């Protein structure tokens, strides 16, 4: 087996062929879920709510990817170190749900406040920054 890196994902090389045509295909990555952490977790917690757990179970059962990457993000209201740890714990909680329904998690990373989508100067911006992103790995053409 050979080791490969494709778009920031690494692993052992596996045959990548379209099951219908037999032609080689590439790894395709797409952002398939962005969920506000306010809907998944209580404030300042990495414990999933019952609704959040059910939502994620349904998503991972139906998404159909061969692998997933899970990225946790926070707003900037606490220290950088604290936010990194919180986002890592939240990414791990989401990854645990994925694995519980048989979805393979290739990577999980907590970025804390380091990759904001919006300004942290407003409540609306901070809400957008509190999120979990799931990237689906599928076969491309």
Q: What is the pLDDT of residues 67-124, one digit of tens each?
A: 999 999 999 999 999 999 999 999 999 999 999 999 999 999 999 999 999 999 999 9
Closest C-alpha among 111, 133, 129 to residue 120: 129
The per-residue pLDDT for 112 is: 97
Residue 108 host element (H or E): strand 105-110
Percentage of residues in the chain having pLDDT higher than 90? 73
pLDDT by residue (tens digit) across 23-75? 766 678 899 999 999 999 998 999 999 999 999 999 999 999 989 999 999 99
Cα–Cα dist 11/62, whole Å: 24
pLDDT for 108-139, tens place per residue? 999 999 999 999 999 999 999 999 999 998 87
| pLDDT for 3 beyond 60 | no
Domain positions in the chain are 30-139
**pLDDT band, residue 10 (cuts 50/70/90):** low
Q: 30-139 in CATH: which number?
A: 3.30.1330.60
Q: Are strands 3-6 and 9-12 parallel, antiparallel or unpaired?
A: antiparallel
Q: What is the pLDDT of residue 56?
A: 98
The strand pairing partners of 137, in sequence order, are: 29, 67
φ and ψ of 87, to 5 deg: -65, -35
Q: What integer pLDDT is reported at residue 28 of this predicted model? A: 80
Residue by residue, DSSP assigns 110-125 as E-TTSS-SS-SSSHHH
């Amino acid at each position: 087996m050979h080791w490969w890196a494709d778009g920031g994902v690494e692993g052992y090389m596996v045959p990548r062929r379209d099951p219908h045509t037999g032609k080689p295909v590439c790894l395709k990555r797409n952002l398939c879920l962005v969920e506000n952490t306010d809907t998944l977790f209580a404030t300042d917690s990495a414990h999933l709510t019952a609704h959040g757990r059910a939502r994620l179970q349904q998503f991972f059962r139906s998404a159909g990817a061969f692998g997933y990457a899970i990225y946790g993000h926070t707003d900037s209201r606490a220290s950088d170190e604290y936010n990194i740890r919180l986002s890592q714990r939240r990414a791990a909680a989401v990854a645990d749900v994925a694995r519980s329904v048989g979805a393979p998690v290739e990577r999980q990373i907590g970025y804390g406040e380091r990759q904001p989508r919006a300004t942290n100067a407003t409540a609306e911006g901070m809400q957008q920054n509190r999120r979990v992103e799931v990237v689906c790995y599928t076969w491309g053409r």
